[in-house]
Structure 1
Amino acid sequence: MAQLVEAARKSLEDDKAEDVLVLDVTGRADYADRLIIATGLVDRQIQAMATHVVEALELAGLPLRRDAVQASPDWVLIDALDLVIHLFKPEARALYGLERMWGPDSPSPEAGS
């Protein structure tokens, strides 16, 4: 897992992603152990970031399914099994607030039960 996270993080930094954040959601999310959230300023940058992350993960030994990348106008999601990568435009990142939902200051799972 650490190798995949590092490959994705380095790829994003190489593509000048802003505010790259890695969150450990082990035991809190049933769909992943790590989330990476990053911001790109324009569509072209976000699409390049997504392409390069997929290539970096494949080089690190994780070939992805064809449907692993889902895109909308403001957000690209890459499902790399226990690692999920979210690439946002700034306004979408603020709107969805994944850091608030999954970050270290978010409520624990026990708080909701």
Structure 2
Amino acid sequence: MTAQTQPTSETLLARILTSLDDDKAEDVVQIDLRGKTEIGDFMVVASGRSTRQVSAMAEKLTDRLKQEFGRTSKVEGKDAGDWVLIDTGDVIVHIFRPEVRDFYQLEKMWLPSGGTVTAN
């Protein structure tokens, strides 16, 4: 795929899930947001074992999306490594350290609204 070709949200989601799997992300959950909110089509929540792994996964993911799709993502929190937010436009990715993820329980916010949660 060339940098000029804009991927569908499903293509982007698949690449994000593959990238996280390649980098040994844990407890990866995808949430279908279509028709529920305007922030994006999908949300992905994943955990890394340490601040270093969380930051590295986020950096590799944003690099891969830029190289493969020419897509620059907005990133927050990469330097701290407790919780990194990656906004690709169509897919919002949250990568947490397990303790931080347990504290915020972000994916549970989307369950009552009827969002489909799929664990990978």
2:35 corresponding residue in structure 1: 27
Q: Which has the higher contact order (CA 8 A, sep 6+)?
A: 2
Question: So what's the TM-score if we normalise by structure 2?
Answer: 0.79
2:26 corresponding residue in structure 1: 18
Shift of 1:41: 1.0
Change (3 A) 1:62 1:96: farther
Q: Does 1:107 align with 2:113?
A: yes
Question: So what's the TM-score if we normalise by structure 1?
Answer: 0.84
Change (3 A) 1:33 1:62: farther
> Gaps spanning 5+ residues in structure 1: where?
none
1:6 corresponding residue in structure 2: 14
1:87 corresponding residue in structure 2: 95
Shift of 1:27: 1.6
Structure in which a larger fraction of residues adopt helix = 1
SS at match of 1:91: helix
1:63 corresponding residue in structure 2: 71
1:98 corresponding residue in structure 2: 106
Query: How many Å separate the matches in 1 of 2:13 and 2:68?
Result: 10
2:46 corresponding residue in structure 1: 38
Q: Where does structure 1 differ by over 3 angstroms across 4 or more consecutive aligned residues?
A: none
